[in-house]
Structure 1
Amino acid sequence: MAYVFKRHVYYKANQSALMVTLPAIFTEKGLLVSHLRFLYSKRHKSQSWIERNVFAVELLLKFINAHINTSTSATEMLRSFVDTLCFGSIDNSNDDQSGLYWQSRRVEDVNVILGHINFYCDYLDELHGHKLPNLNPLRKATKAEERMRWCAYYKRQSNCFLNHLSNPSKHHSSVVRNIQGPLNHLLAIESVHRFPEEHFERFLQYGFLNPRTGDMDFGSLLIVMLMHYGGLRLSECFHIYTSDISVDTKSGSAIVSVFHPSDGASPEPRFSNRRDYLNSRFRQKPRNEYKRSHKLYSGWKQPLLTNRNLSFDVMFFPANKANDFSWLLHKYLAVRVDGAHPYLFSNSIGKPESKKNFIQKHKRAVERIGLEVGKRLGTSPHSHRHSYGYRLNQAGFNQLEIQKAMHHKSPFSCLVYLQPQDKEIREKIRMLEL
């Protein structure tokens, strides 16, 4: 019986390479080796990217298995795959002859899935060249690999999946792909979910105060300040070492640096980088290299690095919040439970604080001051970064200045943080009508 499932395996590319853990796809014929090798070649990508790629290839293989006896061309099969992603596989009578029982997917999801399949198909092209795939049954490739090579071939021959041309010419605007994903909707979403400023001081004062013991959670307060007044993403906070923070002796303000979690400069010069330091000192990996399900995992969005040691400095706004951060830092370090790790934030037993644990603390803090938790209500952790970008805009910073303060590689990435809310536009309309 045909089947497709995923398992994590240990993979060693060659005798001199280090062993790595990667997700692998298995079918009834065994391991999909070419995809495992493909993932190894893309191991520098984020864990989220790798998991999404595995998911996309799994979907295609499951679709192929469900239609293995269908006498249609490979091109039509790929077209049907796109249609099934868009509209689902269940008919009007709630029946599904394929047995997949897929619900329809959002346009954005469909295009992400097709994009990941493109990456894998291009890799197969690099391996096997541009010749028609050899279907000789004596070769070592599994049936699944054979099918994926056919997908790569028809992608190349018919310009499948892609929304851009592989061989652009002066006539490229008059040519379209044979098989395309659906067009993304142009949508102006009210996505500026900023934390409500009228509640923020109360949130700081009472949200992280334990009502039973009267103890303040200084670590969580520091993380909130890094996001709200420093514009950091939540994941970036968990890559900060204690040694990454210094205090200006004249002003008393904190200077916080955020380093690339693996390639950034080591706090001890005798180590080549942070990966080497973590491995040698603590037998740990950079936190972005763990599986997403691991308690130590924290992502890395590839922000703009501005220092030669592969780091960037947090720009507190207003500037006096850097002094408040220093004061809170002293309070926190006085009560922190130290452990065998270099990270600034520890939990109650001295282990590195986890992203998941902080999110729960943030949720309880929001509820403690009587607010409802929700991304669209501006009470999620990421809302603090939105607040930071919007305050910079309101204070008169231009787009390029905001880009650098928020460490975006593109000057257009920060625009989402600068959008006014609908209620603010309505209020301005009312004021102009007076």
Structure 2
Amino acid sequence: MHGGGLRHSEVFHLWVQDVYPDHEDPNLAVVRIYHPSEGKAPQDFKNPTTGKYITDRESYLLLKYGLLPRNMYSAQDKRFAGWKEPRLDNDENKYMHVYWLSKEWGYIFMYVWKMYMAKMLRDGIKDTHPFAFVSHSPKTLGEMMPLRTQRESHEKAVKMIGLTVGKKDGTTPHRHVYGQRLKNANIPDRIKQIAMHHKSIESQKVYTEPTVADVTASLNNATASLDNDCVIPMQTEIDAWMNEETKQQNRYRYRRK
């Protein structure tokens, strides 16, 4: 979310099979988020009736696990995770590629991912579904992690390292800070659209609008320039207006006398 610009709900559609080491740099994670139902399924399970590999994820979940894609559950079901029909990077296999900003996030993700996979093995997580992020609580061990659980854990982690939880600080699960970093790096609008997986180039404007801090900093810089060696273009006109206004007031006072 912070390094790849994914929406909070999109993260929960990640399957264990959807993380790969980069073929040129094995320490760099390649992460794909497939369409919950239409995305290409892993080639490791065949349809019991036809004997052919299942091609889509909805059929894979149903036939192998008796489950639905997470966006098909009701919003009240803790297994639910929304899907806003983002722009896909591959129309054939129907997935989003996660674009790291900066690249360091890809190395961090791979490092933590390996530790997470090892922990799943140690905890004895059973193959009851393919979703990557699961509950590690004894009562719900191995179940799909609810969005609320991750949000609460994220908030606790932020506080533990001494930071304040806030959207403007980039310390919530919201991807606003990713959009702001794209803007600050002067990334072209078309590239921002692809990186944030927006179908419309207009959609990222809400994420890249100047913040209060941006506007304040710009105005402070402008003030400093004016104070140093610039003259306000309208200054002479303002002085002339003030002089004329003073004359009119003096005439009015004289007449009253």
- Shorter-chain TM range is 0.7 to 0.9
Q: Report the AA paired with residue 248 of structure 1.
A: D
Tell me whether 1:246 sits opposite 2:20 in the alignment: yes
Aligned to 1:54: none
Aligned to 2:182: 392
Aligned to 2:143: 351
Q: For structure 1, which runs of at least 5 residues remain unmatched after alignment? A: 1-226
Following the alignment from structure 2 to structure 1, what is the Cα–Cα distance between the partners of residues 183 and 217?
A: 18
Match of 1:403 among 193, 203, 212: 193
- How far did residue 367 of structure 1 move? 3.0
Following the alignment from structure 1 to structure 2, what is the Cα–Cα distance between the partners of residues 392 and 376?
A: 15
- How far did residue 248 of structure 1 move? 1.6
Following the alignment from structure 1 to structure 2, what is the Cα–Cα distance between the partners of residues 373 and 421?
A: 17
Q: Report the AA paired with residue 343 of structure 1.
A: F
- How far did residue 377 of structure 1 move? 6.2
Following the alignment from structure 2 to structure 1, what is the Cα–Cα distance between the partners of residues 88 and 14?
A: 14
Q: Secondary structure at the match of 1:284?
A: coil
- How far did residue 371 of structure 1 move? 4.5
Aligned to 2:218: 428
Q: Over residues 343-364 of structure 1, what are the superposed CA-to-partner deviations in whole Å (9 max), with x where a residue is unaligned?
A: 1112111112111111111222
Q: How many residues align?
A: 206
Match of 2:69 among 276, 280, 286: 286
Tell me whether 1:368 sits opposite 2:152 in the alignment: no
- How far did residue 374 of structure 1 move? 4.8
Following the alignment from structure 1 to structure 2, what is the Cα–Cα distance between the partners of residues 394 and 230?
A: 16
Q: 1:363 to 1:235 in 2, by over 3 A?
A: same
Q: Secondary structure at the match of 1:238?
A: helix
TM-score of the pair, normalised by structure 1: 0.46
Aligned to 1:274: 57
TM-score of the pair, normalised by structure 2: 0.75
Q: Over residues 326-350 of structure 1, what are the superposed CA-to-partner deviations in whole Å (9 max), with x where a residue is unaligned?
A: 1111111111242311111121111
Following the alignment from structure 2 to structure 1, what is the Cα–Cα distance between the partners of residues 107 and 168?
A: 31
Q: Report the AA paired with residue 130 of structure 2.
A: P
Q: Over residues 286-344 of structure 1, what are the superposed CA-to-partner deviations in whole Å (9 max), with x where a residue is unaligned?
A: 00000111111000011001211111110111123212211111111111242311111
Q: How does 1:167-316 map to 2 (within 5 A)?
A: 227-252=1-26, 253-268=28-43, 270-307=53-90, 308-316=92-100
Q: Report the AA paired with residue 409 of structure 1.
A: K
- How far did residue 284 of structure 1 move? 0.6
Give the number of the structure whose alpha-carbon radius of gyration is greater: 2
Contact 2:168 2:177 in 1 (8 A): no
Q: Secondary structure at the match of 2:115?
A: helix
Following the alignment from structure 2 to structure 1, what is the Cα–Cα distance between the partners of residues 170 and 132?
A: 27
Q: For structure 2, which runs of at least 5 residues remain unmatched after alignment? A: 45-52, 225-257
- How far did residue 375 of structure 1 move? 4.7
Following the alignment from structure 1 to structure 2, what is the Cα–Cα distance between the partners of residues 319 and 374?
A: 24
Following the alignment from structure 1 to structure 2, what is the Cα–Cα distance between the partners of residues 341 and 359?
A: 21
Q: Over residues 68-115 of structure 1, what are the superposed CA-to-partner deviations in whole Å (9 max), with x where a residue is unaligned?
A: xxxxxxxxxxxxxxxxxxxxxxxxxxxxxxxxxxxxxxxxxxxxxxxx
Q: Over residues 3-34 of structure 1, what are the superposed CA-to-partner deviations in whole Å (9 max), with x where a residue is unaligned?
A: xxxxxxxxxxxxxxxxxxxxxxxxxxxxxxxx
- How far did residue 424 of structure 1 move? 2.1
Q: Over residues 103-131 of structure 1, what are the superposed CA-to-partner deviations in whole Å (9 max), with x where a residue is unaligned?
A: xxxxxxxxxxxxxxxxxxxxxxxxxxxxx
> What percent of counterpart residues are identical?
35
Aligned to 1:327: 111
Following the alignment from structure 1 to structure 2, what is the Cα–Cα distance between the partners of residues 246 and 405?
A: 19
Contact 2:2 2:173 in 1 (8 A): no
Following the alignment from structure 2 to structure 1, what is the Cα–Cα distance between the partners of residues 172 and 22?
A: 32
Aligned to 1:342: 130
Q: 1:420 to 1:410 in 2, by over 3 A?
A: same
Q: Over residues 347-394 of structure 1, what are the superposed CA-to-partner deviations in whole Å (9 max), with x where a residue is unaligned?
A: 111112111111111222233344554556654311xx1111111121
Following the alignment from structure 1 to structure 2, what is the Cα–Cα distance between the partners of residues 278 and 331?
A: 26
- CA RMSD between the two structures: 1.7
- How far did residue 251 of structure 1 move? 1.1
Aligned to 1:145: none
Aligned to 1:51: none
Aligned to 1:10: none
**Structure with greater contact order relative to length (CA < 8 Å, sep ≥ 6):** 2
Following the alignment from structure 2 to structure 1, what is the Cα–Cα distance between the partners of residues 162 and 23?
A: 40
Contact 2:18 2:31 in 1 (8 A): yes
